Structure 1
Amino acid sequence: MARNILKTSLDSAKFSIIFQILFRCITFVLNAFIIRHVGQDVLGIMNVRLLLLESTLIFLSREPLIKACLSDSKSHNWAQVLNQIWLSVPISATFGFILTYIWLHVLSGTEDKYLAQYHYGCFAILVSVIIDQMTQSVVLVAQSYCFVKLKVIVDTIYVIVRTATFVILVLWQPEYAINAFSIAQVLSSIVLSACYYGFFYWYIENLNVIKKKGADYKHQSKMFQDMHDFEFKSIREFMPYSMENSESPLNKDLVILTVSFAKQSFVKQILTEGERYVMTISPVLTFSEQSMYDIVNNLGSLAARFVFRPIEESAYFYFTQMIRREVPLLQQDQKAIVESATVLSQLLKVVTSIGLIVVIFGHNYSHTLLYLYGGHVLTDSYLPTTLLKCHCFAVLLLAVNGVTECYVFATMDNRQLDKYNYLMVIFSVSFLAISYLLTNTLGPVGFILANCINMSARIAHSIHFIRNQYGSSSHRPLDGLKPDKFFSILLAVSFVVTKLSDMYVYQWSIVLHIFIGGLCCLTTLFAWAWENKSLLMLGVERYKRRTSLINKDD
């Protein structure tokens, strides 16, 4: 593809961060509204039980196929790729009916007044996931051809439709909040699918007109520039077995890679959603307690959802395009390897710094945040504050694990992926066992501690892999994990100052307590910026260069 991979990855990260902030702010406000006006049990059913069903279906039917099909998309046989991605539809339908039966008839039930709504919700999740899978062929093409803004715009429309539908229905009939959630899920999925297919129908029609007229691409809209290699001539070609193909219907290597990712995704899902599975399968916590844990977990994961996840998604795409899985680094394009090592090091530096800031300031402002968010509902008990403080340490590990593991998954060959899958099985079994034991001993805090233990083990493996991969070269991307000296000193000073403020100032002035924390945070950020002037200047130069090119084109 003609478009610059690094530029596209950076754009994707930037727009995704903006979108995540918008989406999480909306979710943040909605959860506060639900817990104050609808009830904790309803929030537990929706955010834990029903969204876990959706998450499980997505990882079983979508994740492995998408990851495999994104690998080295420059050399795709699109007919084979689209045939493979459409397999997610029958897969999601098959697993969907099985899991829906389990969610309805095997797992512990809800109260009688919520039972009918819960049944409706399970089937609504199944329908919405199937609709989403029918859109994945278009989503894959959009991502492979770097339609970054399209994804952000469509996802924003999706969130707005889902949120507006839910809020309107809840305000109309608050006692049917779960039904409102279900209707919003299905409607937003339909809108998402219509937007993607509608855009590409319009785009292909216009692109075909331009090609027929022989117009100069440089004088056309920027949307049509650098698209000489766009292979689709009709919207029908997004369907399975629709493109001309002289080869076999499926690519054997992609199938093998998908199987490897499927094993990996199964284990990773358990590690990611393990506490929800434990809560769902065993009666460890009530729905009300589950909602309390979910609220604290969402608050503690704000940095991860706003910043880390978009960075990880863009970084995974970037590394899959820059580094070839089956070829040793010394035999690849060294310019690409140097750039990749530098990007990995800088990413580690950024996410580690963010994680340390969350640990230092989150510890002394957990109670403040919970009070501002939920009032006395969340602060009358010591448990939510303890959960949030523990979660701050998990955020640091989550930051490091996200970047290191996305690099590992993007560069491992099939043999290494299969080997790592067995290791992930050990991680998963250990995680479930530790979660169950610690939860029965420590309550909800045990979930967070179990997460920390498993993430530490996964980080250790990723570091070992990266160190071995770059061992024969002069590149040391893992140096990005070491925080700078002046930044570390100011972090320690900020912890002491904000701890004293939490003990003595917060009791009589919450505003002054927040002001002190804000001042310490700004000072710490200034120290980081001073020690990383070269990185910031590089970013400024790239921004100026890009702006000048845009103005020149205009």
Structure 2
Amino acid sequence: MAPNFLKSSLENASFNIVFQIMCRCITFLLNAFVVRHVGAKLIGIMNVRLLLMESVILMLTKETFTKACLTNTSEHNWAQVVNLLWLTIPLCSIISFVCGYVWLFFLSADETSQLYYTFGVWSIAISCIIELMSLAVQLVASAFLFVRLKIILESIMIALRTVTFVSIIVFNPENALLAFGIAQLIAAVFYTTSHYVYFYHYIKRLKRHKLKRRLSMSDDGTEEYVESEFPFLSIKEFLPGQLKNHDTYFNKNLSSLTWSFLMQGGLKQILTEGERYIMTFSPLLTLAEQGMYDVVNNLGSLAARFIFRPIEESSYFYFTQMVERSQPLSRQNPAKMYESTNVLRYLFTVVTSIGLIVLVFGQSYSPLLLWLYGGDALSSTLPVLLLRAHCLAVLLLSVNGITECYTHATADSATLNKNNFIMICESIVFLGASYIFVVLFGPVGFILGNCVNMGLRIIHSILFINKRYSVTNEQPLAGLVPKPFFSTCLIVAALVTSCSQAYYFPDKKFLHFFIGVIMFMIVVISWAYENSDLLKLGLNKWLEKRNGDVKRD
């Protein structure tokens, strides 16, 4: 029986959201702890400088190959996929060496003079290589719907990295970069080895299970061997050249698709991390200012990170399995096309609604949130302005995430290659706008530049989706338009909470908070009333899953 991709994607999204909430809560508390113990300057080095390097390496290797190889996994020649995925190791080694050299010798002396900075740089490079050594296993886990495995291992990895880091800086705050590097290496080693250990025991159990089922009588009374859908019979087969393969060493179509994503990966890296590039390679902000910006940025992007990103990851996998890249929608399976269209429209409705709620309530409750997090130091004008601007960015990010996800999941290689020129133009506009806005408005300019970036990407993806659906009567983009009752309640909530913030904050913080809770409940109820069909669908899917789990028990 073919796997239920919708059910698995929904399950993956729900588990991922819970996981991301946990991770962001840990990061949330960890940043507050680090600010009080090591200061904003070291946060700027770790969270801006070093994590940018990690992002560059993994974007151009792990994300590129994973996106390409998750396409239509039911028809894969797994020997060719494994061979292709192991190319990430030499590629990652080259990129890591180049990045390490740049980060050590081309950045300003302010951060390179910090104690253990060199160790921090090379620990990032080595940890990325170690993590990619299990990329084939990670992709197989995703392709065969090992949803809980990913969540459990990533949760343990985050906890292990956090405990290691905190344990060292509690006693030696001046060794924060040493603690950062050690935590990265330990987490990477655990993540890679745990994947191999799990599948070693899984394959062992699978073999025992197959032995129990080996004798099944066929019509003529002879023994019949029952094959499993899982194609790996030994842990060695996750290594290149070990799995039986009667075709070419690499799949031409997958290689071409990977190259397309590699080209786009470099452009997307500039678009998604543009502000960190500007902060890293220009003297516009000091390290302390970068650290403060990063603290507020993490706080402002909570919704984007622990809700939108898991939804995007699961949606990308779902659309790659349901929609064929090379065929127009009118020639595809009608049932799959109808289901994927409804899913896309519902996704637009959900993420747009969340983004609007964040935008409305963020304007009035940014000062209160910053005061709760960092006290009076974060309640000044600049952090509040940064967080309010982030709320607008969250709305645009919510829309861009799903529109771009569908585009990348369903466009063919030729279309992806044609989009590279457009992304180059978007990158140039984004970097130029960010630089100009930073000069004019300070750190807030990074967020304004990012809003310009998101707007351009949304327009480009919407044009693609509209063209793809022009041959059908379906209109999934209608989900981007909020319904009237919900919109009216949002406007009322914006007015009421603005008045509450003006009259009751900071003297009567609890009353201001209570008013926000009441208005939030009204907005949520109005949304539920107008989207009852979506809620019923979600409830039915949950009941089906629950009943299925009960029957298996």
TM-score for the superposition, normalised by structure 2: 0.97
Which residues of 2 match residues 69-468 of structure 1 at below 5 A?
A: 69-110=69-110, 115-214=114-213, 228-379=228-379, 381-468=380-467
Counterpart of 1:107 in structure 2: which amino acid? L
RMSD, aligned CA: 1.4
Give the CA deviation at 1:216.
9.5
Instruction: Give the whole-Å Cα distance in 2 for the aligned partners of 1:344 and 1:522.
Output: 26
Instruction: Give the whole-Å Cα distance in 2 for the aligned partners of 1:390 and 1:215.
Output: 63
Give the CA deviation at 1:399.
0.1
Which deviations, in whole Å up to 9, do the C-alpha atoms of 1:115-147 show, x marking residues without a partner? 331111001001100001101110000000000
- Matched residues, percent identical? 49
The residue number in structure 1 matching 2:478 is 479
Report whether the alignment pairs 1:50 with 2:50. Answer: yes
Instruction: Give the whole-Å Cα distance in 2 for the aligned partners of 1:276 and 1:469.
Output: 34
Instruction: Give the whole-Å Cα distance in 1 for the aligned partners of 2:402 and 2:301.
Output: 16
Instruction: Give the whole-Å Cα distance in 1 for the aligned partners of 2:212 and 2:389.
Output: 63
Name the SS for the 1:110 alignment partner: helix
Counterpart of 2:337 in structure 1: which amino acid? I
Give the CA deviation at 1:506.
1.4
Name the SS for the 2:241 alignment partner: coil
Which residues of 2 match residues 513-532 of structure 1 at below 5 A?
A: 513-532=512-531
Report whether the alignment pairs 1:66 with 2:43. Answer: no
Give the CA deviation at 1:74.
0.5
- Structure 1, unpaired ranges of 5+: 218-225
Which deviations, in whole Å up to 9, do the C-alpha atoms of 1:282-301 show, x marking residues without a partner? 11100100011111111111
* Cα 1:21–1:168 shift into 2, 3 Å: same
Instruction: Give the whole-Å Cα distance in 1 for the aligned partners of 2:294 and 2:234.
Output: 44
Instruction: Give the whole-Å Cα distance in 2 for the aligned partners of 1:123 and 1:37.
Output: 24
Give the CA deviation at 1:164.
0.6
Counterpart of 1:460 in structure 2: which amino acid? I
Instruction: Give the whole-Å Cα distance in 1 for the aligned partners of 2:249 and 2:420.
Output: 27
- Report runs of 4+ in structure 1 exceeding 4 Å deviation: none
Give the CA deviation at 1:2.
3.1
Instruction: Give the whole-Å Cα distance in 2 for the aligned partners of 1:489 and 1:299.
Output: 28
The residue number in structure 2 matching 1:223 is none
Instruction: Give the whole-Å Cα distance in 1 for the aligned partners of 2:504 and 2:363.
Output: 16
The residue number in structure 1 matching 2:538 is 539
Name the SS for the 1:241 alignment partner: coil
Which deviations, in whole Å up to 9, do the C-alpha atoms of 1:145-194 show, x marking residues without a partner? 00000000000110110011111111121111111111000001111111
Instruction: Give the whole-Å Cα distance in 2 for the aligned partners of 1:285 and 1:332.
Output: 52
Instruction: Give the whole-Å Cα distance in 2 for the aligned partners of 1:452 and 1:24.
Output: 23
Instruction: Give the whole-Å Cα distance in 2 for the aligned partners of 1:378 and 1:71.
Output: 45
Higher mean Cα deviation, 430-439 or 488-497?
430-439
Give the CA deviation at 1:31.
0.2
Q: Do the aligned partners of 1:80 and 1:249 also contact (CA within 8 Å) in 2?
A: yes
Which deviations, in whole Å up to 9, do the C-alpha atoms of 1:76-98 show, x marking residues without a partner? 00000000001111111111011
Q: How many residues align?
A: 544
Report whether the alignment pairs 1:25 with 2:25. Answer: yes
- Structure 2, unpaired ranges of 5+: 217-225
Higher mean Cα deviation, 50-59 or 536-545?
536-545
Counterpart of 1:526 in structure 2: which amino acid? I
Give the CA deviation at 1:215.
6.1
* Cα 1:216–1:150 shift into 2, 3 Å: farther
Instruction: Give the whole-Å Cα distance in 2 for the aligned partners of 1:264 and 1:531.
Output: 38
Give the CA deviation at 1:457.
1.1
The residue number in structure 2 matching 1:497 is 496
Give the CA deviation at 1:10.
0.4
Instruction: Give the whole-Å Cα distance in 2 for the aligned partners of 1:435 and 1:402.
Output: 20
Counterpart of 1:180 in structure 2: which amino acid? A
Which deviations, in whole Å up to 9, do the C-alpha atoms of 1:373-417 show, x marking residues without a partner? 0112212x3111111111100100000000000000001011110
Name the SS for the 1:375 alignment partner: helix
Which deviations, in whole Å up to 9, do the C-alpha atoms of 1:44-92 show, x marking residues without a partner? 1000000001001111222211111110000000000000001111111
Counterpart of 1:511 in structure 2: which amino acid? F
Which deviations, in whole Å up to 9, do the C-alpha atoms of 1:279-329 show, x marking residues without a partner? 001111001000111111111111101100000000000000000000111
Give the CA deviation at 1:263.
1.0
